[in-house]
Structure 1
Amino acid sequence: MSDGARVLDPVLKGKIMSAEEAAALIPSGINVGMSGFTGAGYPKAVPLALARRIAAAHERGEPFKIGVWTGASTAPELDGALAKVDGIEMRLPYQSDPTCRERINAGQMDYIDIHLSHVAQFVWFGFLGHLHVAVVEVAAVLEGGRLLPSTSVGNNKTWLDQADKIIIEVNRHPSLGLEGMHDVYYGTRLPPHRQPIPLTHPSDRIGTPYLECDPSKIIAIVETDQPDRNTVFTPPDENSRLIAGHIIEFLTHEVKKGRLPENLLPLQSGVGNVANAVFAGLKESPFENLTAYTEVLQDGMLDLVACGKLSFASATALSLSHEAAATFNAKIDDFRKKIVLRPQEISNHPEIIRRLGIIAMNGMIEADIYGNVNSTHIMGSSIMNGIGGSGDFARNAYLSFFMTPSQAKGGAISCIVPMVSHVDHTEHDVQVIVTEQGLADLRGLAPKQRAKLVIEKCAHPHFRPALEDYYRRALRESPGRHTPHLLDEALSWHSRYLKTGMM
């Protein structure tokens, strides 16, 4: 039985109960805002208890589903458990769980894929409907209802403000050394009363270290002692190292040309092994005194902070391997001086991204020869994860990179295609495309110039002749010559893969 040691408010201590008792307070048919961002800071007990309750209801023949809103992806204890019992009616704004994905693509669960910077404001605007209950993990409940956030902030500020009722999970696993690492800004306003956000450097602190909460809305407190879903990062493979090398060479060239300062501009990176390979490359590069303004702080970035290459990092969540999490906790007093965690409406805010001049590096599923990027859909109709924050950064960054190996599925799929099967980032927002084959700088180029460069620099040699043939024939046969396409062939590569297993 827990002892309430991290619940310091004497009135709220009386609301401590089991996960089963708390889950019983969540009825069917409502929208629930859950904490969590890329497997960090999500509730770990109440969703599992709720899944068991939903399964029992279904066994009795009773309908039971809820809407699930989060910051980004969570973990099997939340997304996976609720999806497995068919308990989610609507999911937003981002997911990465296999069971969740399977149900979405089977048409058994509705899913809204939203730019992460839009979520909080859409809720405030009333665009998404009513938020009935929030289930939020924190590291401690302080006097007066102040909450010490755990390993992510995400949309928690908005959930606590907007929800009718609140269930708090107090997790004893995160270090109390997190206190002082968060910066929760309460100065955002609805139009037409918005004011500029006073942030001009990644290290600026403009808010409070705590989440504020009306204690009267708290209906339950559940205590846990469980780690986050630690991300597993494999060592960079050869393709990842080559992609990283192309990017670092390009950044070095931009510094020499006077288009970047010697310590670059603040870095943003999506999650994954390629991103970690870039940071590993930066560790060996001549760049010093780097900064980051990003969504997720992962292993490679933490390593740069630890070795002194990265002087400061701003994010909304930690996404660390087991080993990196251990390092973080062991040196948390040092990291607290160099890392800040903010709400995602600030970490992903387009105005701030534009103001700071971010260097954005994000992964993709495929790009076409004209620079359009698909980062969400497999073969045009099946969701993979979601757009996440890549659109927030790509459109507003000083430099916008999209990265991928040039082929997938053992060479059956080309990641450079005549026309993408789904568009998340148009050619207008994509500046640089990188594969292990090379880097295509698309800035200042017209469509036909972009096509030649993407095919030459980024396509795998196995697929390059077919792309060159497509482009030559499109130049001759397309009715329009600005962006030449053969419409009856543009998606034939995807159709061929679906029929034969090879593009």
Structure 2
Amino acid sequence: MTISATESAATNARIAHPDYQSKVMDAAAAASLIKSGDAVGMSGFTGAGYPKAVPQALAAQIEEAQAKGDNFKIRVLSGASTGPELDGALAKAKGIDFRLPYNSDPIAREQINAGTMQYVDMHLSQVAPATWQGFLGPLDVALVEVSAILPDGSIVPSSSVGNNKTWLDRADRIILEVNSWQSASLEGMHDIYYGTALPPNRVPIPLVRPQDRIGQPTFRVDPSKVVAVVPTDIPDRNAPFKAPDDAALKIAGHLMQFFAHEVKVGRLPKELLPIQSGVGNIANAVLHGLLDSPFEQLTSFTEVLQDGMLELLAADKLTMASCTAFSLSPEAAEMLNNDMARYRDRIILRPQEISNHPELVRRLGCLAMNGMIEADIYGNVNSTHLMGSRIQNGIGGSGDFARNAYISIFMAPSTAKGGKISTIVPQVSHVDHIDQDVQVIVTDQGLADLRGLAPKQRAEKVIANCVHPAYRDMLADYYARALHGSYGKHSPSLLNEALSWHQRFVETGSMLP
């Protein structure tokens, strides 16, 4: 089914090539081109730039098929998290058999933890290479939101780039959602690099500063693979930014003092080094803290542009932000859309295989600041699993940055669930970041600089600086007994107690005795 002539005329400004205009149809017609069992590469990264109309139409068709006894399911690959119109709608329809590499949707999370949806939690930088290597199997469909199709047929990306270049290159069939809600001024903001290759043909990526442009502003697309073009006008569904609480403000304060000290002793330049910041309210609080800091001429090389980073750009504290997607509150997204031209030369949106590339993170010397669920006294960090087995979201890009950063920082409040959970534990229940990759741990209680410290020195510093008072004596007692009763003395551990705090929470609802 095609849209009406009036609707078609209204979209001509965004779909300016006649070959693509001839493929315009509504979401239901496009969704019918996706078959059960298909592997679909979806656009989207942290609630930005994901397709919104076709997934909802597909969910309705899946529910109809399942009502007739057809077990209609698809495989979903994306950049990172998407939105309720995609992950939420398809999960509600029980239409996702397999999902990677990151998820934040609560319905999908419930099915993953119930074991009814297969989920692969991957480092974000590795998804595109694994697709090219064939490890993830064939890609049947690319379903990608874009902001415009230009008269020459080139494709202007949307508010996220993610893995879209790879999906468009590798898929057998392509469905494009052209979203006119996205600012027309996005054109020119993207830097799509086509120089990656598999071994033995891999060459160095020619990027030495966050502001370097090494690619082109649009996607290359084989028009013969495009089977549908769907006009939309639906906003990104971004979460509101919560005002930082007392714990977040204290964490930000500890980090500002740490950075000032590193500058004073000559380990950081006065403009710091390129900032990488994970997603969330604590990360935003740290970015907001930089507004009143003495640091000027900052740069970032990161995954997402959040409210705090946009504030730094507006205040001219941040000269350049390189990322793969926006992750803004609705208010900040509206502000950016209305003033996009002002920021177009100071924001670069790249494919996530570049924004998260370990080679570039190491070369640029990024300051990596990421959240965590828990850390143990030796500096191992769990950023994905509650009580060892219930996944929350995924590792995201934190591993890409942590191992390769100039300074690797993990941060979280010292307690959770109203004090019933200690963030610092004898042993983490799941390891995402080994102690060798974790250099600094920060909670509202304080900061532990673990660089150059042996395991027992690390433990003493973490217990002294980062543990909530309600748990500090408990942890100090555990460590003292481990020093005498452990099998070895290098990283003392009591095997019968190391996870006892987690077991107590599962049984009683609190880690406190």
| 418, 427, 432: which one aligns with 1:419 | 427
Match of 2:417 in 1: 409
- Residue 52 of structure 2, aligned match among 44, 57, 60: 44
Show the counterpart of 1:394: 402
Does 1:358 find its partner at 2:366?
Answer: yes
1:48 is paired with a residue whose SS is helix
Determine if the alignment matches structure 1 residue 377 to structure 2 residue 376.
Answer: no
- 1:144 Cα shift? 4.2
Aligned ranges for residues 10-409 of structure 1 at < 5 Å?
Answer: 10-409=18-417
Q: Is the 8 A contact 1:185 1:208 kept in 2?
A: yes
Q: Which runs of 5+ in 2 are unaligned?
A: none
How far residue 334 of structure 1 moved from its aligned partner, in angstroms, is 1.5
Whole-Å separation in 2 of the counterparts to 1:165 and 1:47:
16
Query: Letter of the aligned partner of 1:478 in structure 2?
Result: S
Correspondences of 1:430-441 after superposition (within 5 Å): 430-441=438-449
Query: 1:112, 1:130 → 2: CA distance?
Result: 16
Query: Aligned-pair distance for 1:30?
Result: 1.4
Contact (CA 8 Å) 1:144, 1:215: kept in 2 or not? Answer: no
1:190-240: per-residue Cα shift (whole Å, max 9, x none)? 100011110000000000000110000000000100100122111111100
Picking from 8, 17, 28, the partner of 1:9 is 17
Q: Deviations over 1:314-357 (max 9, x none)?
A: 00000111111122122211200110000000000000000000
- Sequence identity of aligned pairs in percent? 65
Task: Please say if residues 165 and 218 of structure 1, whose CA atoms lie closer than 8 Å, have aligned partners that are also in contact.
Answer: yes
Partner SS state of residue 86, structure 1: coil
SS at match of 2:435: coil
The structure 1 segments of at least 4 consecutive aligned residues displaced by more than 4 Å after TM superposition are none
Deviations 1:420-448 (A, max 9, x none): 00000000100000000000000000000
Q: Which amino acid aligns with 1:138?
A: V
Matches of 2:209 and 2:335 in 1, distance apart? 26
Cα deviation digits, residues 284-340 of structure 1 (max 9, x gap): 001000000000000000000011000100000001111111221222112001100
Q: Which residue of 2 is the match for residue 469 of structure 1?
A: 477
Counterpart in the other structure of 1:451 = 459
Letter in 1 for 2:465: K
Distance in 2 of aligned mates of 1:49 and 1:144: 30
Q: Distance in 2 between matches of 1:222 and 1:403?
A: 42
Alpha-carbon distance between aligned partners in 2 of 1:11 and 1:130, rounded to the nearest angstrom:
26
> What is the letter of the counterpart of residue 62 of structure 1?
D
Would the aligned equivalents of 1:243 and 1:403 in 2 still touch at CA under 8 Å? Answer: yes
CA contact (8 A) 1:244 1:277 kept: yes
**Distance (Å, rounded) in 2 between the aligned partners of 1:97 and 1:136:** 19
CA distance in 2, matches of 1:382, 1:325: 32
Looking at structure 1, the residues matched to 293 and 468 of structure 2 have their Cα atoms a distance apart, in angstroms, of: 27
Q: How far does residue 143 in structure 1 lie from its aligned partner after superposition?
A: 3.1
Distance in 1 (alpha carbons) for counterparts of 2:226 and 2:281 = 39
Shift in Å at residue 141 of structure 1? 1.1
Partner secondary structure for residue 396 of structure 1: coil
Q: Distance in 2 between matches of 1:240 and 1:11?
A: 52
Q: Tell me the CA shift for residue 279 of structure 1.
A: 1.0
**Is there any run of 5+ residues in structure 1 with no aligned partner, and where?**
none
1:210 aligned counterpart, secondary structure: coil
Separation in 2 of the partners of 1:16 and 1:329?
A: 25
Shift of 1:31: 0.5
Instruction: Tell me by how many angstroms 1:145 deviates.
Output: 3.1
The one-letter code matched in structure 1 to 2:206 is: P
Tell me if the contact between 1:145 and 1:214 (Cα under 8 Å) persists in the aligned partners.
Answer: no
Structure-1-length-normalised TM-score: 0.99
What TM-score do you get using the length of structure 2 for normalisation? 0.97
| Deviation (angstroms), 1:14 | 0.5
Q: Deviations over 1:441-498 (max 9, x none)?
A: 0000000000000111000000000100000000000010000000000000000000
